[in-house]
Amino acid sequence: MKAIKPKFNPLALNPSNIKIIAGLLIVLLILLSFATFRDTDSLITHDQANRLYTEGKIEKVIIDGDFLRLKTDELSYKIYKDAVNKTAFFTKYPVEVREDNSYLYDLFSLLIIIAAFGFLYRLMKQNRLQQLKYIRSASKTDNEPANEPVQALTSNVTFSDVAGIKDVKEELEEIIDFLKEPQKYRDLDIRLPKGVLLVGPPGVGKTLISKAVAGEANVPFFYQSGASFVHIYVGMGAKRVSELFKKAKQMAPSIVFIDEIDAVGKSRGEFRNDEREATLNQLLTEMDGFEDSSGVIVIGATNKIEMLDEALLRAGRFDRRIHISLPDLEDRSKTLELYLAHKPNNVDTALVARMTVGFNSAALDTLTNEAAIYAMREGRSVVETSDFEAVKEKVLLGKRKILTFTEEEREIQAIYQAAKAVIATWLDVEFEKIGIVNTRLLSQEHEILSKSQLLSRIKVYLAGSIATKMHYNEQFTNASTDIAQAKEIVRKVVYEYVMSENFIVTPQQEEELLRESVSEVTTLLKTLDKALTEISSFLLAHENITAEECRVILRKIF
């Protein structure tokens, strides 16, 4: 059996640390001794000096700078020269003049302090070298990530193992086809994306999707986490990136999957880290160095796309970005069916899907497993719908409460999101999908934006809070993020883009712009009240609505 190496503790009392502690104590004792014995004469007053003079106890007077030192049989005293009658003392007792050597004492103190700190620095440097030597030896023997051979994995996961995400599958199908038959694309001089970035919150199945792509294409799969590239020595991460891509090219067609790519791909500059920057630069170089249609596809996964370096996101690297949102009602139902496929059950998946708003795929997997465990504890061999209800709260621990809506909260949220969908459709603000738990407005990629476009976007963000206030005569906490977004756009309109009537702007203009927007949205929602009711009902039934579905409802009413 391989012996387990004890972890290194730099604070442990090893010989080097003992030397440092002993050195500190020695220096402290030397300085205390020097301060103590440098001048042991007691300072006395005029009356005490006169008493010694009268009693004849003084044997000798020593002139020492600003002091007179009075020597007796037993002790020695000192007093300021101007505090006594010097003539009387000099006449009665023998006098000795001592040279002023105080600067020698100060110089000696300084030399001792310098020598002590030099000694301590040497000991600390030796201790640090020992720590680094230990870390190097430990990394070479136990961990050695840089020298581990890069291994390709074979994925047995296919899209049949991933429920829902129909849109994501469609976007990845051509990449799978390219990996299966790359020559077909080369013959037509078609260049496929070098990189695909999966963006979505934790637990939605980004890693599973990448494995499914590899499994469907039946190609080698190289898995790395972003953190595995980060090392304490500059150059080690870059070397690992180089080895990874070299192996992937050798085994092309293949997939390189980098999970949590933000760990290595953070924006450069603000918090400098030479090792991470060297690793990121190597990754950028490798992606640039790919030959067109080389047969290597890089799939990255992150839930923090805003933190990624711009160079990583530019065209020619991660050309395609696929956003994976939390599963909607239909996706949750299919996911539950998949997880229950091999479990004897009598479960109404539609009902369970409806009560699990905000659950990601991982949470649904856990919920299904916990429900099966609960059924077994109850002595049953078949999982029932009631088992899911019994363990739901247990699985919810740690989840944000706002995503676990009650029926009343679902109705409030449906009206809130329906208002945004109605106003966005009416004002031609493009969106991909608006659902009970998410809003996917399309990002504005134009260099030049009109004031009308910006104001329309503000109105969309304000629509939800205005609609719920109209229907319930109450305000709710679910509007906080959207109101903050609206305020940010207003701030840019007034201060950054200077789109107000006056060049000299004030906070009052922000307030006026917001009030005008609120007034216009209120009027619009009153006019479109019937459409708002239908779309909120649609959301309650399906949880998501597309822009085209919104337009169909509006055309039917008007």
388 shares its domain with 319: no
Residue 150 lies in a domain: no
Instruction: Write the CA distances from 211 to 202, 255, 366, integer angstroms.
Output: 16, 9, 20
246 shares its domain with 210: yes
Instruction: Tell me the pTM.
Output: 0.52
* 315-345: pLDDT as tens digits: 777 878 888 888 888 888 888 888 888 889 8
At residue 91 the predicted structure's pLDDT band, cuts being 50, 70 and 90, is confident
At residue 215 the predicted structure's pLDDT band, cuts being 50, 70 and 90, is confident
Which domain does 187 fall in, by range? 159-323
24 shares its domain with 137: yes
Q: What is the mean pLDDT of residues 216-230?
A: 79
53 shares its domain with 101: yes
**3-class DSSP state of 259:** strand
Amino acid at 274: D
Q: What is the mean pLDDT of residues 435-450?
A: 72
385 shares its domain with 426: no
Q: What is residue 474's predicted lDDT score, i.e. its pLDDT?
A: 92
Q: How far apart are the first and last CA of the chain?
A: 79
Q: What is residue 270's predicted lDDT score, i.e. its pLDDT?
A: 54
Q: Are 330 and 542 in contact (CB under 8 A)?
A: yes
Q: Are 237 and 229 in contact (CB under 8 A)?
A: yes
- Locate 264 and state its tokens: 């290595």
At residue 490 the predicted structure's pLDDT band, cuts being 50, 70 and 90, is very high
Stated as kind and residue range, the H or E segment containing 246 is helix 236-250
Out of 144, 171, 193, pick the residue that ends a domain. Answer: 144
At residue 526 the predicted structure's pLDDT band, cuts being 50, 70 and 90, is very high
* 373-416: pLDDT as tens digits: 988 988 888 998 888 877 876 665 544 443 567 788 889 999 99
190 shares its domain with 241: yes
Residue 152 lies in a domain: no
Largest CA distance in the chain: 126
Residue 93 lies in a domain: yes
| Bridge pairing between strands 221-225 and 254-259 | parallel
Out of 288, 323, 358, pick the residue that ends a domain. Answer: 323
Percentage of the chain with pLDDT > 90?
16
Out of 302, 323, 344, pick the residue that ends a domain. Answer: 323
398 shares its domain with 411: no
Return d(Cα 12, Cα 1) in angstroms, integer: 27
* 552 pLDDT more than 50: yes
Instruction: Write the CA distances from 524 to 56, 309, 482, 511, integer angstroms.
Output: 112, 41, 18, 20
Q: Which has the higher per-residue pLDDT, 359 or 372? A: 372
Q: How many independent structural domains does the chain possess?
A: 4
Picking from 521, 416, 388, 545, the residue whose alpha carbon sits closest to that of residue 472 is: 416
Alpha carbon of residue 302 to chain centroid = 11
